[in-house]
Amino acid sequence: MSDLRDQIAVIVGSSSGMGRAAAVSYAEQGAKVVLAARSVDKLEELATQIGDDALVCPTDVEDSAQVESLIQKTIDTFGRVDILVYATGTNIPDRSLENLSYETWNMMISTNLTGAFHCTKAVLPVMRQQKAGLIIYLSSGCVQSPDVSGVSYQASKCGLSGLAHGTFKEEQANGIRTTVIFPGLCDTPLVFKRPTPTPPEVMAKALQPQDVADACLFVATLPSRTRVPELVLLPAGL
């Protein structure tokens, strides 16, 4: 394993939770990190914490033009993109089929899956030119063990697997690798969007965002001759 010195990492969804933890960890290992999310204030606060190795790029992943601008700004500033982490994800309290509307379904798919496609589509040209690149998608443990997180959430997170594995098959000859990480219950703000609060004794056993960041770091610091197609990360006590 190596550090990330001189690597350029775009962290999409870095304003909170797993994405924020990944951005800090990558910067600590020497990477220059591009912070992307919709919350400008949170990104600027994080950039202040990280220092000169952080670039703030407010981005709404549902807007393909904004995503293209994010990647172009990264190239204009640093000249390349070595790693892209897609950590953006959301859920809704009214997630049952009985309550799910066409509008909320479209919003969930757009944020959790289409946004990942926008980022993939935008970053591939520079990675092809470099003949190297790593894309990490943060999915969910509900892909392996379906639960009551809602069909829109589960469908979007399952879709990330198809996007990741299909991208690798098409881009393998260009030196582009993909990984899907499937975290189980994690203590992030997304938990507060559950229709019923999770008991404190359960949350006490949940993963922490840093655990997922460490998994992202592990994948990124492996030699480029290696690939981790999937990584399942679950709480040991649940």
Residues with a catalytic annotation lie at 153
Q: b/e string for 89-100 if b means 16 or more Cβ within 10 A?
A: bbbbeebeeeeb
Q: Which residues contact 235 (CB under 8 A, 6 or more apart)?
A: 184, 185, 205, 206, 207
Give the separation between CA 19 and CA 25, rounded to whole angstroms.
Answer: 10
Read off the tokens for 183: 């975290």
Read off the tokens for 11: 């962290």
Burial class (CB in 10 A: 0-12, 13-18, 19+), 237: exposed
Using alpha carbons, list the distances in angstroms from residue 103 to 63, 67, 76, 150, 216. Answer: 17, 22, 36, 15, 32
